[in-house]
Amino acid sequence: MNLIELDHALRKLRLSGMAAVLEARLRQAQADHLAPIDLVSALVSDELQRRQDRLLERRRKQARFRDPDRSLDTFDFTFNKKMNRALVFELATARFVSQREDALFLGPPGTGKSHLAQAIGHAVIQQGYRVFYRGAQAAGRTDGSHARRHAQGVSRRADDGPAPHHR
pLDDT digits (tens, 9 = 90+) for 9-26: 999 999 999 999 999 999
Closest CA to 121 of 105, 145, 143: 105
**Selected residue with higher pLDDT from 167 and 124:** 124
Closest CA to 25 of 5, 44, 39, 9: 39
Structural domains of the chain, with CATH: 3-62 (no CATH), 72-155 (3.40.50.300)
Q: d(Cα 115, Cα 88) in Å, to the nearest integer?
A: 11
Say if residue 146's pLDDT is above 70.
no
How far is the C-alpha of 150 from the C-alpha of 112, rounded, in Å? 11
Is the pLDDT score of 164 beyond 70?
no
pTM of the model: 0.68
Say if CB 154 and CB 133 are below 8 A apart: yes
pLDDT tier at 83, thresholds 50, 70, 90 = confident
Mean pLDDT computed over 33-61 = 95
- The C-alpha atoms of residue 110 and residue 108 are separated, in whole angstroms, by 7
Residues 20 and 16: their CA atoms lie apart, in Å, by 6
Cα–Cα distance list, 1 to 4, 9, 36, 46, 148 (Å)? 8, 10, 17, 21, 62
State the amino acid at position 44 in one-letter form.
Answer: V
Pick the closest to residue 19 from 38, 3, 1, 37 (CA basis).
3
What integer pLDDT is reported at residue 121 of this predicted model?
93
Across-strand partners of 152?
105, 135
The DSSP H or E segment spanning 152 is strand 152-155
